[in-house]
Structure 1
Amino acid sequence: MNRITRWAGMALALGMMAASGVQASEKVVRKALTDRFPGAQISSVKKTPYSGLYEVYLDGQLVYMDAKGQYVITGDVIDLKTRTNLTQARLAKLQAVDWKVFPLNNAIKSVKGKGERKLVVFSDVDCPYCRKFEAELAKVDNITVYTFLYPIEGLHPKAVQTSKQIWCASDRNKAWDEYITKGSVPGNDGKCANPVDTTVALGNKLGVSGTPTLFFANGVRVPGMVPAAQLERLLAANAK
């Protein structure tokens, strides 16, 4: 079922509720969606503080419905006064993870300054946005970065092998930096014991679909390349 058909069917189901005079509530919304879409993963239903809308976290997405159950709304809610994307901010909290899930020994650890601030990065060695992010990251001080080598083979066929070679280098930090900045591939066969496959499995489990993907100390994730100034704000906002 494509997305448009799915949401159209959902709107029809909720519209029938409104026609019968049933006022929407969190329980009513959940039951209606469960009855109409039994295979859907409805993680939460919550009334929002704006415009009487209900927030539904469904299959990893946020959608909204009105208090009467007549409409389903997809897309982002923006606070024009603060220019804040409320949907993305809420998703970041909903998708936050416990840092205990990260086997930090399977990451390349880099400490700058006192290293008081913590950041996990899932990075594909051949991802151009990861290279741009590394250039921005170089401008940030007082941080400990755990880089998990997360090759997306469908996009970058050589990334798996290169990731293993970087891990197998005698100096992983140097190998990572030289490949990201110069494209220099380490001179080994990549056949040492390495965590690349384990990292790929973990990333898939966490729903990491692109790189770079950042995880802050409180577990909040932010997908995509962010400039240094924005990274500083995110580190401050998401300190544990």
Structure 2
Amino acid sequence: MKRTLFALVGAISLSACAQAPDPAKAPGAMASSANSAPKAPASAAPKAGTPEARAVEAIARLNPQVKADKVGAAPIPGFQEAIVAGQVVYVSNDGRYLFLPGSGGALFDVDARKNLSEGALASMRKELLKTIPVSERIVFAPANPKYTVSVFTDVECGYCRKFHSEIAEYNRQGIAVQYLAFPRMGLGSDDYKKMVSVWCAPDRRKALTDAKADHQVQSRSCKTSVNQQYDVGQRAGLTGTPMILAADGTQLGGYIPPAALRATLDKLAAESAKAAQAGPPGGAAGSR
């Protein structure tokens, strides 16, 4: 499972298969290391009222069970550097903002529990998705969907297979699923060739279902947009599959159970409606 700091603090849940395996981190080696490694000694609590203490408090506000292993001055002016769950993050001296390097370089508002970078990323993803027509996607939809999500998927990923095994329930929840190809092992891999075969099949829906169930799919070759879809996934900031995107480009996470995804989409729709009703700052409220 691929986890970011946001997953640890409960802001975003990402249950996804990594883009490619790391030979240095074989499952057996990881388990052995976890069982035998001694616990790191607890560091002394920083003095109250200091930037270090505010950084620790900010992380605790997000999730009291997540602890900073080390906090100190950062190379970025106005920030503290903290090591949390093996990741380096930066917290503003007032404890308001948390910056996560990598994975898109997200800036997080601790008080609002909001990813401030998501708006810009969502807008970009929405434009990128427009470059892949629906005719190039593999669609599973109910008669009158309430919501439509785009899902970058892979035929080998366990979480992708779990998601697809519940596709009928997603549809019963009023959610249309539009699949895009993201062979996580890379272009030219066996995984990629399987996905090309799926996209070249006369019945893509059946071929995708068969591939995810380890059933034989006839090897085929044709002109497809699989390469383009893979490129769009990378540009959209994909770090693992599945990646679920709402219609506005908001990243909802990796695998999310059907009822939970419906609840997330309902919440997102309510927030959007509320924002639209409020209008832009200085708009209707300030007019005569």
Q: Same fold (TM over 0.5)?
A: yes
Instruction: Give the Å deviation of 1:100.
Output: 3.5
**1:40-189 counterparts in 2 under 5 A?**
53-54=96-97, 56=99, 60-62=104-106, 77=110, 86=113, 89-90=115-116, 92-96=118-122, 97-102=124-129, 103-104=132-133, 105-140=135-170, 141=172, 142-153=174-185, 157-180=189-212, 182-187=213-218, 189=219
Task: Report the Cα distance in structure 2 between the residues aligned to 1:95 and 1:209, rounded to whole angstroms.
Answer: 14
**TM superposition shift of 1:122:** 0.1
User: Relative to structure 1, is the Cα distance of residues 236 and 224 closer, same or farther in structure 2, using a 3 angstrom cutoff?
Assistant: same
- The higher-RCO structure (CA 8 Å, 6+ apart) is 2
CA distance in 1, matches of 2:188, 2:255: 18
Q: Tell me, what secondary structure is at the counterpart of 2:74?
A: helix
Q: Is the 8 A contact 1:133 1:227 kept in 2?
A: yes
Residue 115 of structure 1 aligns with an amino acid whose one-letter code is P
Aligned residue type for 1:53 = R
Cα deviations across residues 145-175 of structure 1 (Å, max 9, x unaligned)?
2100110115994210110111111111111
Change (3 A) 1:222 1:145: same
Cα shift at 1:221:
0.7
Counterpart residue identity of residue 210, structure 1: G
Deviation digits for residues 169-203 of structure 1 (CA, Å, limit 9, x no counterpart): 111111112222x312322x321111111111111
SS in 1 for 2:241: coil
Worse-matched range after superposition: 90-99 or 158-167? 90-99
Q: Secondary structure at the match of 1:148?
A: strand
Contact 1:123 1:213 in 2 (8 A): yes
Check 1:227–1:13 CA distance in 2 against 1; reply closer, same or farther (3 A cut).
closer
1:226 is aligned with what amino acid? I
Percent identity between matched residues is: 27
Aligned letter for 1:185?
Q
In the other structure, the counterpart of 2:74 is 11
Q: Indicate the residue corresponding to 1:209 in structure 2.
A: 239
Cα distance 1:54–1:99, how it changes in 2: closer, same or farther (>3 A)?
closer
